Structure 1
Amino acid sequence: MLAIIAIILIVLWLGGFALHVGGGLIHILLVIGVIVLIVHFLRGRGV
């Protein structure tokens, strides 16, 4: 589930660059997506 959310956030971030919308918001989406992916992989390997 976390991986799906992260992928959606990253796709929205890439789409924002294509449409030139939102400046800082787009970078926040990228950071949130990367953090969610890292947490997902760390939990997956630890369990």
Structure 2
Amino acid sequence: MTLLLLEALGALLLFVLLIWWTMFSGRRKGELPPEASTESKPEAPESAPK
């Protein structure tokens, strides 16, 4: 019974570490500012309906 609980605890720890790694492994300085991220989007032509 103790071995089963230790295995469950190990699986939970592995799951938490995996979630932690995926949440905080992004850019070093965080997300890009909004004005920098919109520059790569193509603009609509002038004749396009709004």
TM-score (norm 2): 0.49
Q: Tell me, in whole angstroms, the C-alpha distance in 1 between the residues paired with 2:5 and 2:13.
A: 12
Q: Tell me, in whole angstroms, the C-alpha distance in 2 between the residues paired with 1:45 and 1:34.
A: 17
Aligned twin of 1:12: none
Question: Deviations 1:1-47 (Å, cap 9, x if unpaired)?
Answer: xxxxxxxxxxxxxxxxxxxxxx1000000000000000000000101
Q: How many residues align?
A: 25
Q: Tell me, in whole angstroms, the C-alpha distance in 2 between the residues paired with 1:36 and 1:46.
A: 16
Which protein has greater RCO, CA pairs closer than 8 Å, 6+ apart?
1
Structure 1 gaps, min length 5? 1-22
Using the aligned pairs only, state the percent identity: 4
Greater Rg by CA: 2
Whether 2:17 is the aligned partner of 1:39: answer yes
CA-based RMSD of the aligned residues comes to 0.4
Aligned twin of 2:4: 26
Higher helix share: 1
Q: Which runs of 4+ in 1 moved over 4 A?
A: none
